[in-house]
Amino acid sequence: MTRLPVVVLGATGMVGQRMLSLLDGHPGLRVVGVGASARSVGRPLGEALTWRLPGRLPAAFADLPVLPCEPGAFDGQATLALSALDATPAGPIEAAFRAAGWWVVTNASPWRMDPGVPLVIPEVNPDHLSILDGAGPGGIVANPNCCAIPLAMVLAPLHRRWGVEAVITATWQAVSGAGYPGESAWDMVGNVHPHAGAEEQKLAVEPQKILGGPHAPAAFPISARCVRVPVADGHLLSAHIRLRGAPRPDEVAEALAGWTGEGPPLPSSPRPLIHLDPRRDRPQPRLDIDAGRGMALTVGRVEACPIFGVKLFVLGHNTIRGAAGAAIANAELLRATGRI
């Protein structure tokens, strides 16, 4: 299989760096260009960015010149862009790429609830890509929020089998979810703080769009409390779940452990998708975050809830499964389904 040329937008930020890490040596995608904001344009990527991840910028990308985030800058080099842009610039830039006939897989929030944009977890709702069929060439595919992804993934097999009726969730969210520099260390040293952003609102609507039909969101309510904690990577969530028919916790656990997802196999999609950990004090972010090279979830403590029937903990890597890896898997899906 030839490797599909791809452009990374927002390459210098936290999620962009994760994308580059994951794309180094990727079997099906090949980075041919990188875009970033004006202050980086014109410099080799290796000089334009300060690498914030373990090790160093993969050598293969160090000499790529940083180009402006305009489709014209990458003319003829690719027709697929992975976007790690911040929410504010993402809207108009991604619209411009779409208008020029590109496929854009974006991690940014502006397009997520747009009815013309599929909000896709490739193992959950690959069929939502049909929203774009006939509308192209190209189109925008959105990643869900980094908390919405693990929540929707654990709800998926339960919703398919029993039907979700209500969810109350809480988060212990890592600081990398805010990008770089993101959270101030002053706020996070020996401290936690209630998330002052729109995280709770996103958790209240995105899973329903993902778990419903392409044009008909699921109807159950979600109520969330989101709190940032001094953890580098890894969002831990609790979920109290009311399911139709009130299955027992062991039935729920079995459904999660046995879940293989929908859609075609993808290079970035691990087996198993969900690690069910029976240990009482797991999952823990620092220890369990790399399951499935950051693309698997770990679920623990699936137990009876006296109010909703079942409750559990789920942990996911927020900048891999929840962002950079999610975008790459969506790109893989576009290709595996013959759209690109």
Binding mask 13-32 for its own copies (x = CB under 8 A): -x------------------
Q: How far is the CB of 5 from its own copies (least distance, A)?
A: 30
Is 235 among the catalytic positions?
A: yes
Residue 84 binds its own copies (CB under 8 A): no
183-188, long-range: CB within 8 Å, 24+ apart, which pairs? 183/228, 187/228, 188/228, 188/229, 188/230
- From the candidates 26, 128, 146, 147, which is the catalytic residue? 146
Q: Which stretch binds its own copies (CB under 8 A): 68-76, 235-243, 245-253, 329-337?
A: 235-243
Q: What's the CA gap between 207 and 224, in Å, rounded?
A: 12
Out of 81, 129, 153, 175, the only residue in the binding site for its own copies (CB under 8 A) is 175
Q: Which stretch binds its own copies (CB under 8 A): 78-86, 126-134, 228-236, 261-269?
A: 228-236
Q: Which of 159, 195, 235, 275 is catalytic?
A: 235
Which residues have CB under 8 Å from 188's CB, separation 6+? 175, 228, 229, 230
Burial environment of residue 156 by CB neighbours within 10 A (0 to 12, 13 to 18, 19 or more): buried
Q: Given the DSSP bridges, would you call strands 29-35 and 4-9 parallel, antiparallel or unpaired?
A: parallel
Strand partners, 4: 29
Please report, in angstroms and rounded to a whole number, the separation of the first and last CA atoms in the chain: 13
How far apart are the C-alpha atoms of 25 and 29, rounded to whole Å?
Answer: 8
Residue 185 interacts with its own copies (CB under 8 A): yes or no: yes
What's the rounded Cα separation, in Å, for the pair 141 and 129? 8
Angle subtended at Cα 15 by Cα 212 and Cα 320, rounded to the nearest 5 degrees: 60
Query: Using the rule CB under 8 A, is 41 a contact of its own copies?
Result: no
Considering only the stretches 59-67, 77-85, 273-281, 326-334, report the one whose residues sit in contact with its own copies under the rule CB under 8 A.
273-281
- The rounded distance, in Å, linking the Cα atoms of 49 and 235 is 26
Cβ at position 140, least distance to its own copies in Å:
28
Number of residues forming the site for its own copies (CB under 8 A): 64
Nearer to its own copies by Cβ, of 51 and 96: the residue is 51
* Residue 287 interacts with its own copies (CB under 8 A): yes or no: yes
Nearest Cα residue to 262 out of 97, 128, 107: 128
Q: Binding to its own copies by residue 201, rule CB under 8 A?
A: no
Question: Tokens 């969330």 label which residue?
Answer: 224
Q: Between 269 and 319, name the residue whose CB sits nearer to its own copies.
A: 319
Is 134 a binding residue for its own copies by CB under 8 A? The answer is no
283 lies in the binding site for its own copies (CB under 8 A): yes
Question: Would you say 75 or 281 has its CB closer to its own copies?
Answer: 281
Which residue, 111 or 162, has its beta carbon nearer to its own copies?
162
Work out whether 198 is an interface residue with its own copies (CB under 8 A). Answer: no
Note if 146 is an active site residue: yes
Stretch that binds its own copies, among 87-95, 142-150, 185-193, 257-265 (CB under 8 A): 185-193
Find how far residue 109's CA is from the centre of its chain: 11
Query: In sequence order, what DSSP letters do the residues of 99-149 get, joined into one string?
Result: HTT-EEEE--STTTT-TTS-B--TTT-GGGGGGGTTT-SSEEEEPPPTTHH
Q: In what order do the strands lie in the sheet with 29-35?
A: 66-67, 29-35, 4-9, 80-83, 103-106, 139-142
Out of 68, 130, 180, 339, the residue judged to bind its own copies by CB under 8 A: 180
Structure tokens at 278: 């029976």
Piece of the chain touching its own copies by CB under 8 A; list 83-91, 101-109, 148-156, 174-182: 174-182
Q: Taking CB under 8 A as the rule, does residue 168 contact its own copies?
A: yes
Kindly list the catalytic residues: 146, 235
Site residues (CB under 8 A) for its own copies?
14, 50-55, 166, 168, 170, 172, 175-176, 178, 180-196, 204, 221-223, 225, 227, 229-232, 236, 238, 240, 279-288, 290-291, 300-301, 305-308, 311, 313
